[in-house]
Chains A and B, each alone.
Chain A
Amino acid sequence: NAGVMQNPRHLVRRRGQEARLRCSPMKGHSHVYWYRQLPEEGLKFMVYLQKENIIDESGMPKERFSAEFPKEGPSILRIQQVVRGDSAAYFCASSPPSGQAGGIYGYTFGSGTRLTVV
């Protein structure tokens, strides 16, 4: 029973390029959450998605960042025209639908993608 899979594990991009980070939730999980961890800081919530729906994007930067969770395939966090300040670890978590086992009760984090912008 694979956990939350994130890839790539490490990603290097030059300033101005696009970064695509993938997250495959655990089997049976239909909710996905993205967090960003800047160097020497805690994680900060970015966005919460269900299949084909963005539920809460209150933590997403207004420009250059977007997220999707299509009906088929992994969730994608996309960062356009990356800048040095985007260098961080990006974590994805997944959970079952809300309820006793859902939401924060069923939260499972992936191992993260470390993005370095050079």
Chain B
Amino acid sequence: AQKVTQAQTEISVVEKEDVTLDCVYETRDTTYYLFWYKQPPSGELVFLIRRNSFDEQNEISGRYSWNFQKSTSSFNFTITASQVVDSAVYFCALSEESTGANNLFFGTGTRLTVIP
């Protein structure tokens, strides 16, 4: 069973639009960690955020915000006023305490294209 589901394979938005990337996860652990990574066309992985399962506070960092909802097992990511530089593949990932919290389960990614 897929532990992390990113149902949106590709999204295109026009510059300055807001966009939300969905992430739904599945775990039986009470202690777990959720991540978002950005993979620009150059291919490297850029860490964006890590949250643990006990911290449901939403977070905002500049134009980025994250909405963690344990009730729906979702950790969605919103980019406000999108820019062309936001074009990338975005991955959501999960780490579980029961496996030692040493490895990450990645979703299949959402490719975001921001059109100028």
Contact = CB atoms under 8 A, between A and B. Distances in A.
Interface string A80-109: 000000000101000100100001110111
A111 B43 contact: yes
Contacts of B4: 42
Interface in A15-60: 31, 33, 35, 41-45, 48, 55-56, 59
Interface string B20-63: 00000000000001010100000111010010000000000000
Contacts of B103: 33, 45, 48, 56, 59
Interface centre among B44, B91, B100, B102 (most CB of A within 10 A): B102
Contact of A44 (B35, B50, B106): B106
Contact of A111 (B35, B44, B107): B44
Contacts of A41: 108-109
Contacts of B81: none
B50 A109 contact: no
Contacts of A91: 45
A107 to B, nearest CB: 7
Interface of A: 31, 33, 35, 41-45, 48, 55-56, 59, 89, 91, 95, 98, 103-105, 107-109, 111-112, 114
Interface residues of B, number: 23
B102 A103 contact: yes
B102 A31 contact: yes
A111 B93 CA distance: 18
A95 B101 CA distance: 12
Given A104-B33, A105-B50, A43 B101 contact: no
Given A104-B50, A105-B50, A112-B43, A43 B102 contact: no
Given A43-B91, A43-B104, 14 more contacts: A35-B106, A41-B108, A42-B107, A42-B109, A55-B102, A56-B103, A59-B103, A104-B33, A104-B50, A104-B102, A105-B50, A108-B47, A111-B44, A112-B45
